Structure 1
Amino acid sequence: MQLTGHITPESLMSLEAYTKWRKLHKPDIITHRKLRSVQLGEHVNLQFESETTIRYQIQEMLRIEKIFEEEGILDEIEAYAPLMPDGSNWKATMMLEYTDIHERKRELARLIGIEDRMFVEVEGHARVYAIADEDLDRENDEKTSAVHFVRFELTPVMCASVKAGAAVKVGCDHTNYPAHKVVEPDTLASLASDLK
């Protein structure tokens, strides 16, 4: 999978090429996803996206749906490419994970608005709160969704601090889910590579 900084139909593999590539490289993608995951408390998992994770997602959708015509390929790129960080931000898929269906229903009702209370804090700088669900609203008056898409927009000074080695904390200050965690060095190194 060649990273180009911009996903186009020409930069994606054919279904045949991807099927061969996938057999050899799926464990690498799983490792990359794990490296870019931050578990916040017991039930919130932030999967920070990258060009690698987004390319993989697009290729998987093309494979599963057997899409090979340009219009369909462009539709998949249009759906997923906005989730790729673009140099001044981190973008993540935020999952609220509850195995028990009754607990999940109860907690999703208690956690309305949680996506807006997620933050990153670069050492020496103010918190940056998530810009959530820019594509569509994922909650209603009764509950929030189990999946949200969040973007953390950083200033140039924050980006420079991260690249210079500043620590980063990820957190949530929702009344019903207060939690924070310092991002592990390996994960932070991967996230720093997203910044210009």
Structure 2
Amino acid sequence: MQLTGQVTADSLMSLEAYSKWRKAHQGEVIAHRKLRTVHLGEHLTVQFESELSIRYQVQEMLRIEKIFEEEGIAQEVEAYAPLVPDGRNWKATMLLEYPDISERKRELGRLIGVEDRMFVEVEGHERVHAVADEDLDRENDEKTSAVHFLRFEFTPGMAQAVKAGAAVKLGCDHRNYPAHVAIAPETLASLAGDLR
């Protein structure tokens, strides 16, 4: 899988080529995704996306759905390509995970707005809250969604600090889910590669 800087229909592999590539490289992609996953408390997981993770996601959707026509490929690219970081930000998928259905329903009702209360804090800089769900509104008056898409925008100084090794916290300051965690050095090293 060749990284090109952006996911486009022309840069994707054919279903046949991807099938061969997948057999040899799926473990590497899974390890990459695991490295870029941060757990915040017991029920909230943030998966920081990259060109590799999104390219893999698109190729997987094409494989699973057996999509090979231009229109279908274009729709998948249009859905996922905006999740690739652009050098000034980190983009992530946020998951609220409650195995028990009753608990999930109750907690999603208590966590309305949680996606807007997610933040990153680079050592020595102001906290930056996420821009959430730019594709569509994922909550209503009764509950929030279990899946949200986040974008954390960095100033040049923040990006430079991250690349120089500054510590970074990921957190949530929602009243019903206050939590924060230091992003592990190996995860931070991967994420620093997303910034120019």
TM range (shorter): over 0.9
Q: What is the letter of the counterpart of residue 133 of structure 1?
A: D
Query: Contact 2:93–2:150 (CA<8 Å) still a contact in 1?
Result: yes
Match in the other structure for 1:154: 154
Query: Contact 2:6–2:84 (CA<8 Å) still a contact in 1?
Result: no
Match in the other structure for 2:140: 140
The CA deviation string for residues 90-120 of structure 1, in whole angstroms up to 9 with x for no partner, is: 0000000111111111100000000000000
CA distance in 2, matches of 1:57, 1:49: 10
Match in the other structure for 1:86: 86
Question: How far apart are 1:10 and its partner, in Å?
Answer: 2.1
CA distance in 1, matches of 2:119, 2:6: 27
Q: Secondary structure, in 3 states, of the residue corresponding to 1:79?
A: helix
Q: Secondary structure, in 3 states, of the residue corresponding to 1:10?
A: helix
CA RMSD of aligned residues (A): 0.7
Give the fraction of aligned pairs with identical amino acids, expressed as a percent.
Answer: 76
Match in the other structure for 1:176: 176
Match in the other structure for 1:41: 41
CA distance in 2, matches of 1:8, 1:115: 28
CA distance in 1, matches of 2:30, 2:187: 14
How does 1:112-151 map onto structure 2 within 5 Å? Answer: 112-151=112-151
Question: How far apart are 1:125 and its partner, in Å?
Answer: 0.3
CA distance in 2, matches of 1:61, 1:110: 32
Question: How far apart are 1:176 and its partner, in Å?
Answer: 0.5
CA distance in 2, matches of 1:20, 1:135: 33
CA distance in 2, matches of 1:133, 1:8: 22
CA distance in 1, matches of 2:105, 2:71: 38
Match in the other structure for 1:163: 163
CA distance in 1, matches of 2:6, 2:153: 19
Superposition misfits of 4+ residues, deviation over 6 angstroms: none
2:77 is equivalent to residue 77 of structure 1 = yes
Q: Secondary structure, in 3 states, of the residue corresponding to 1:2?
A: coil
Count of residues in Structure 1 that have an aligned counterpart in Structure 2:
196
Question: How far apart are 1:5 and its partner, in Å?
Answer: 0.2
Q: Secondary structure, in 3 states, of the residue corresponding to 1:82?
A: helix
CA distance in 2, matches of 1:7, 1:172: 30
The CA deviation string for residues 122-179 of structure 1, in whole angstroms up to 9 with x for no partner, is: 0000000000000000000000000000100010110001001100000000000000
CA distance in 2, matches of 1:8, 1:61: 14
